[in-house]
Amino acid sequence: MQQITNQSLLSFMVLNQDQGIAVSNPATGEILGYAPVSPEHDILDGIERASFAQKEWALLPAKTRSGLLQKWYQLLLDNKEDLGRLMTLEQGKPWAEAQGEVLYGASFIEWFAEEAKRTYGETIPAPSSDKRLVTMKQPIGVACAITPWNFPIAMITRKAGPALAAGCSFIVKPSESTPLSAFAVAELAYQAGIPRDVLQVVLGANSRQVGGIFTSHPLIRKLSFTGSTQVGRVLMQQSANDIKRTSMELGGNAPFIVFDDADIDAAVLGAMASKFRNAGQTCVCANRFYVHNKVYDEFVEKFDAAVQQLKVGNGLEEGVNVGPVISESAKQGIQSLIDGAIEQGAKPVTEPKTLDGLFMQPVVLKNVTHDMDIISQEIFGPVAPVIKFDDDQQLIEMANDTIYGLASYFYSQNIHRVWKIAEALEYGMVGINEGMISTEVAPFGGVKQSGIGREGAKQGIDEYMSIKYLCFGGN
Ligand code: SIN
């Protein structure tokens, strides 16, 4: 790992498999290093320490917590290149994109450093003249999180930022595939002055074990999870035993709709941004494209031409836009969705090359119909199935015909249609003439089985606070 200039970012690393888990580079298969694994009693000790430390942390003036978060934010920016490189090495996304994620991740720390000072309560007009009613917001206590491999930094900071700003302590279990970035960003938090007991990164024997501890430990009052709907459902069930607060950012099946009045060139740009970010491995990636009959051929031709320009390869190489997918089983899953669609009648616009290792050639599929399996599954890979439609009502029914409701996108220049479709889509987020919707200032989250709660924005900090109502009598 001599590519990393600031070696303090790697100070957590352990020497071998006996002490930690091996982390490998999905582009080359080489082992990058070993991340520390804690035995169960250490994780339990950490929770006790987090609970103790939280009380002091919450007593700090909000401005002090805000200042520490600002310092962390600055260190993240100062280390953007190294953090980006580390992320590319363990996750695969191209270095420029990884640096973009560092900035995106840091933006949550900056945003919640500011929000820390604005957790206002209210005064409520009382129903009788002898009473005065007031609310205040208080931190929940110890919050924990389980985060995925597709955004090794941003999914942590999007949760840690509001938790720490609110006055909670925070324990995160990152993905076993990408723990190096997680430990590195925590190291910068410690350098900024955030106490080690207030922010902890842990890996255990496996995800199930840590999930079990997080959801059953009485000192943990909140669990925030980003990952699959299947795992989220289990974590919610486990959290129900002692009524823990949960936030769930789960799977998606985003429709990307192009109406006949759309600016087709703009739609192609939006489609590229939305579909191929992180090699198609995001919960908000366009998963299925619906294009009006009248503009179908034009869109498909232009979209495929843009897709053929994508350079697939090791994310550290110049000019690469699409890195490897995360694992062999992910590659097999994506390939079997492509094969299944082709068996059911879909056709690649350009025949994709078969690539070695974990690389996959991006592909646009035409002649796709709404009933194919590839349309109901979350693809999580560089594949774009395109369906024809004729009628707005039929389109809305198809777009909403899913258990998911995270992100959706559409392109139209007709203001009346824009409002109608925006209101009719059963999704937590709608990109209108825009393929990139993620930002720290807007509420990120889904409806239906895509989850509960919102991250980022002014709403994000409320997920880590409780409202206390004070009733002053005898006035
Ligand atoms: C995700 O895929 O879970 C997050 C995507 C984003 O924040 O844009």
For ligand 1, whether the C-beta of 226 sits within 6 Å is yes
Q: Measured between alpha carbons, how far is 470 from 135 in angstroms, rounded to an integer?
A: 6
- CB neighbours (10 Å) of residue 452? 17
Q: Measured between alpha carbons, how far is 68 from 451 in angstroms, rounded to an integer?
A: 31
* Residue range 429-457, pLDDT digits in tens: 999 999 999 999 999 999 999 999 999 99
Of the chain, the percentage scoring pLDDT greater than 90 comes to 98
The long-range contacts involving 317-323, CB below 8 angstroms and separated by at least 24 positions, are: 320/94, 321/94, 321/276, 322/94, 322/276, 322/279, 322/360, 322/362, 322/382, 323/26, 323/27, 323/88, 323/91, 323/92, 323/93, 323/94, 323/278, 323/279, 323/359
**Does position 204 have pLDDT exceeding 90, yes or no?**
yes
For ligand 1, whether the C-beta of 151 sits within 6 Å is yes
* Residue range 107-164, pLDDT digits in tens: 999 999 999 999 999 999 999 999 999 999 999 999 999 999 999 999 999 999 999 9
For ligand 1, whether the C-beta of 147 sits within 6 Å is no
Contact indicator for 271, 475 with CB cutoff of 8 Å: no
> pTM (2 decimals)?
0.97
Helix (H) or strand (E) run with residue 214 in it? helix 207-216
Confidence label for 410 from pLDDT (cuts 50, 70 and 90) = very high
Of the chain, the percentage scoring pLDDT greater than 70 comes to 100
**Does position 470 have pLDDT exceeding 70, yes or no?**
yes
Determine the pLDDT at residue 19.
Answer: 83
* Residue range 281-329, pLDDT digits in tens: 999 999 999 999 999 999 999 999 999 999 999 999 999 999 999 999 9
For ligand 1, whether the C-beta of 172 sits within 6 Å is no
**Does position 2 have pLDDT exceeding 80, yes or no?**
no
- Tell the residue nearest (CA) to atom 6 of ligand 1: 438
Centroid of ligand 1 to alpha carbon of 226 (angstroms):
9
**Does position 39 have pLDDT exceeding 80, yes or no?**
yes
Q: Which of 150, 158, 231 gets mutated to test ligand 1 (max ligand atoms within 8 A of its CB)?
A: 150
Mean pLDDT, residues 232-258 taken together: 98
Average pLDDT across the chain, whole number: 97
**Does position 415 have pLDDT exceeding 90, yes or no?**
yes
Q: Is 110 an active-site residue?
A: no
Q: Which atom of ligand 1 is nearest to the CA of 437?
A: 8
- Tokens matching residue 256: 């990307």
Determine the pLDDT at residue 35.
Answer: 97
What DSSP assignment string belongs to 47-116?
HHHHHHHHHHHHHS-HHHHHHHHHHHHHHHHHTHHHHHHHHHHHH---HHHHHHHHHHHHHHHHHHHHHG
Q: Cα-flanking dihedrals φ and ψ of residue 454, to 5°?
A: -130, 145
The one catalytic residue among 110, 249, 378, 440: 249
For ligand 1, whether the C-beta of 367 sits within 6 Å is no
Determine the pLDDT at residue 186.
Answer: 98
Strand partners, 389: 292
Q: Measured between alpha carbons, how far is 202 from 7 in angstroms, rounded to an integer?
A: 20
**Does position 349 have pLDDT exceeding 80, yes or no?**
yes
Determine the pLDDT at residue 16.
Answer: 81
End-to-end CA distance of the chain: 67
**Does position 389 have pLDDT exceeding 70, yes or no?**
yes
Confidence label for 17 from pLDDT (cuts 50, 70 and 90) = confident
- Tokens matching residue 323: 């890195």
CB-based burial of residue 327 (10 Å sphere; 0-12 exposed, 13-18 middle, 19+ buried)? middle
Centroid of ligand 1 to alpha carbon of 219 (angstroms):
29
Q: Which of 91, 151, 253, 440 gets mutated to test ligand 1 (max ligand atoms within 8 A of its CB)?
A: 151
- How many angstroms from the chain centroid is the CA of residue 223? 15
